[in-house]
Structure 1
Amino acid sequence: MWFRRKTSTAPPKKPAARSQAGLLDPDAQTRVERVRLPVDLLTTGMRIVKLDRPWTEVPVLFQGFTLEDNYQARTLRQYCEWVLVEGDEQVLSEALAKVAIHKKRTATPLPETRPLAEEIPRASRVWGKTQTFVEQVTLAIEQGNNFNLQDARPVIRECVESIKANASAMIWMSRIKSRDAYTAEHCLRVAIFTVAFARFLGLPDEDLEIAGMCGLLHDLGKLKVPEEILNKPGALNPAEYAIMQEHTTFGYELLGSDPKLDPIIRDVTRHHHERVDGRGYPQQLEEWQISRFARLVSIVDAFDAMTSDRCYRDGIPTSDAIRVLYRNRGRQFDADMVEAFIRMVGIYPPGTLVELNSGEVALIVAVHPGKKLKPRIEILMDASKKPVAPRIVDLANPAAGEKLEIAHPLPDGAFGISLKARVQQLVTGHRVFPS
């Protein structure tokens, strides 16, 4: 929905006609002055007159200002969903014309510039480098040593470049999990999915690095939580749960030692466990008080926590995690974001091993948001479960006479095929499956 206010330079003789788009007829002596726009459509020169939250909840200097540079626009994109703007009629009309396209941004697959097989070697290298960084920061915090969080920027930048080339490559890497390195890998996986999700939502490339930093550092405070509580196999008692909740404040304080960090990174660290129904922690914020990036990371964080193996339990299937997210939309999570996240991840996320109706075995390469049951796949075994030369098939656009469908998912390692082994094969060029 958008709003308008007309200003007449001369009294019209008859009511101004309206076009089908709802704008005033150009022949009438009126003009559109104010409209409500998604923050992703803001351009310099627009005057911001109202936010979707109190001005005091966003780090801007003035209550009402003209958008002068991209830094201001980026800040609004991090905290808000929409703003009320006023400006030149033509500029606002051009922005309004993009609203319909903006609403369809999560109905198409993430763009790719390189095939998965070509991107996997770089993704593997970047994953290893970023994991090493997280482990170094973890060790520094545990030993009470100084650490430079600005060193995270170049490694996150490489993650962003890989995701822009082919998001499925980094998603494949994120699905190769170790229950013994949960905390470090969890931060890395949340960073990867946060960047991919931010891109899927239509955020510009310049926002992806900060989004990735938010994901990478969101759980830093857990390093201050006693291990016997962090890894307790059973339910936490009230006292233990209260200590666990403090990890958001611990992280907020840790990040406060670096004045060069973008404020939104600390905000996400502190607020990624707030709920849109006001029952989250640590501050029981209302929905309108929770920043856009914090709501985004909260979904990714919960998804990865549910689907990951821990030292004391196995993760739940992706399909079950999706059901939990969907059931809690509008209560724990932002409803629109949950639905968009489900469209991005799909019924069978990239890296899932599946058996086809033909009996062939394949890995999911990429999903199609508008055709959840028809992803792009890589067939690795024939109907007799014999290895074959990898073949890419787009189930949404099959070849003439081809009627392949996914029969059911398979556990990783079924028939001797594992995602880790396939990644190794793509990185080294050596066959690693049983002959």
Structure 2
Amino acid sequence: MDKNSNDLLIDSVELVKIDVKNLKVGMFVSKLDRPWLETKFLFQGFELRNQTDIENVQKQCDFVFIDVNKQSKVPQYVARNTGYTKDYLEHVDPPGKRTSFKQEIKRAGVIHHKASSLVKTFMEEVQLGRPINAVAAKKAVSACVDSVLNAPDALLLMTQLKKRDEYTAQHSMNVCIYSIALGRQINLSTEELNNVGLCGMMHDMGKMLVPLDILNKPGQLTTDELPVMQSHTTKGWNLLLKTSGLYPGAIDVAHMHHERLDGAGYPRKLSAEQITPYSRIVAIADMYDAVSSDRVYKPGKSHLEAIKIMTDVSGGHLDPALTMKFIECLGIYPAGSIVELASGQIALVLEVNPKAKLKPRIMIIQEKLNKPCLEYVVDLAMVSQNVDGRQFAIKRVLRPEECGVDLLNYLQGGLFEKLLDGGLHQELDQN
């Protein structure tokens, strides 16, 4: 790539890419998103000494690279975005929920349906050579961010609505949600959550430019087919570069979400310092959903199996500190999990209890395996046994097909709202 071109790489440990909206007085601008000769700047590299300097940059660029070693001070934004280091993350807690799961679940279902339909439309448009509507994408992501900030488990539960024949579109939607949820866990601002959510939604658009016989192949790819599949990162980068009004960071993520911290990723074998924080977040969300989803050629792994795989490759492949935060975010029994209790009853996990990871809020759906019952809600942090004295403790996690449970039926029938409103069956008396 020509050195004067719109280079999206971070050239060194010291250079940090930043949206011009987030510039602060004291930052040193070392590189632009366009050749210096195309701008009105007199010098190649300068310090932002006042608000006028910042406004001049904002008028001519979408993003720039700043040199943290040449700053008169280190603004909070830069300190937070140089890689989400372990020390930083250890002192970060997510914000409190703004509403309850009961208040958010119906709205989350509507948001998920609309956003998922939009992602399918985007992919169809790309296949036809048409542009992506960046305005519509941002609006959909904003609604997802709002829902996650309200009560994250409501929208996270929707990630369990999976169909093998719609994997690619569902995967992009899920990666969007997981990325936002992880962003919330490390207490990113609303603007940052919107940005990382858009990165997740757009990360795999390049796959729509890969031949369908390779994209949907129900088996292992050959040595000739693998590079074609891997080209989706570069194809996505080129596609999004041409998308008007798109957040620039999403272009980076489409290009580098398969890069690895050890330099063994593709397509450019970037080193850890060159991989942006949003790319690290999306890589985690991408791997988790890919590993835990059923595919035409293999069944998905359970949640515990998936996070075991991810922890095994953290450090070399995934960012270890962010991986731990992601696991912390989902909990041991994520929303949407099907579990068997010590009592023999089957339940659906509704909501994670952040202070008691092993005791989520659940909905009893079967009296025993494949024997439906009148549903009711139990908070395991408040109740340890049912009226018969049988223990409510979770014994194991089940796959939906083991107990004939289709989550979509509960959502479409409005059962969650009825239960949580007390219209169908009151929540188990905590006394």
TM-score using structure 2 length: 0.75
Tell me which moved more, 311-320 or 245-254. Answer: 311-320
Deviation at 1:244, TM superposition (A): 1.1
Distance of 1:197 and 1:62 partners within structure 2: 34
Alignment of 1:228-267 (within 5 A): 228-267=213-252
User: 1:316-342 deviations in whole A, cap 9, x for unaligned?
Assistant: 212111111100011011111111111
Which of these residues, 377, 394, 399, is aligned with residue 411 of structure 1? 399
Tell me which moved more, 113-122 or 288-297. Answer: 113-122
Deviation at 1:293, TM superposition (A): 0.3
SS of equivalent residue, structure 2 residue 224: helix
Deviation at 1:426, TM superposition (A): 3.0
Distance of 1:283 and 1:383 partners within structure 2: 52
User: Who is 1:420 aligned against?
Assistant: 408
Do 2:384 and 2:393's aligned partners in 1 also have CA atoms closer than 8 Å? no
SS of equivalent residue, structure 1 residue 47: coil
Alignment of 1:53-132 (within 5 A): 62=45, 64-65=47-48, 103-104=89-90, 111-132=96-117
User: Who is 1:47 aligned against?
Assistant: 26
Which of these residues, 159, 164, 168, is aligned with residue 183 of structure 1? 168
Tell me which moved more, 60-69 or 238-247. Answer: 60-69
Q: Which AA in structure 1 matches 2:264?
A: R
The size of the alignment, in residue pairs, is 375
Which of these residues, 137, 140, 155, is aligned with residue 152 of structure 1? 137
Residue 347 of structure 1 pairs with residue 332 of structure 2: yes
Deviation at 1:309, TM superposition (A): 1.6
SS of equivalent residue, structure 1 residue 409: strand
Which of these residues, 191, 212, 215, is aligned with residue 227 of structure 1? 212
Tell me which moved more, 301-310 or 411-420. Answer: 411-420
Do 2:284 and 2:323's aligned partners in 1 also have CA atoms closer than 8 Å? yes
Q: Percent identity?
A: 31
SS of equivalent residue, structure 2 residue 400: coil
Do 2:206 and 2:236's aligned partners in 1 also have CA atoms closer than 8 Å? yes
The change in CA–CA distance for 1:336 and 1:400 in structure 2 (over 3 A counts) is: closer
User: Who is 2:300 aligned against?
Assistant: 315
Deviation at 1:119, TM superposition (A): 1.5
Q: Which AA in structure 2 matches 1:214?
A: C
The change in CA–CA distance for 1:393 and 1:271 in structure 2 (over 3 A counts) is: same
Distance of 1:171 and 1:67 partners within structure 2: 43
Structure 1 unaligned segments of length 5 or more: list them. Answer: 1-38
SS of equivalent residue, structure 2 residue 300: coil
SS of equivalent residue, structure 1 residue 299: helix
TM-score using structure 1 length: 0.75
Deviation at 1:266, TM superposition (A): 0.2
Do 1:308 and 1:314's aligned partners in 2 also have CA atoms closer than 8 Å? yes
Distance of 1:417 and 1:229 partners within structure 2: 32
Distance of 1:232 and 1:44 partners within structure 2: 46
User: Who is 1:293 aligned against?
Assistant: 278
User: Who is 2:199 aligned against?
Assistant: 214
Do 2:206 and 2:234's aligned partners in 1 also have CA atoms closer than 8 Å? yes
Distance of 1:101 and 1:290 partners within structure 2: 19
Q: Which AA in structure 2 matches 1:407?
A: K
SS of equivalent residue, structure 1 residue 391: strand
User: Who is 1:391 aligned against?
Assistant: 377
Q: Which has the larger radius of gyration?
A: 1
Q: Which AA in structure 2 matches 1:165?
A: N
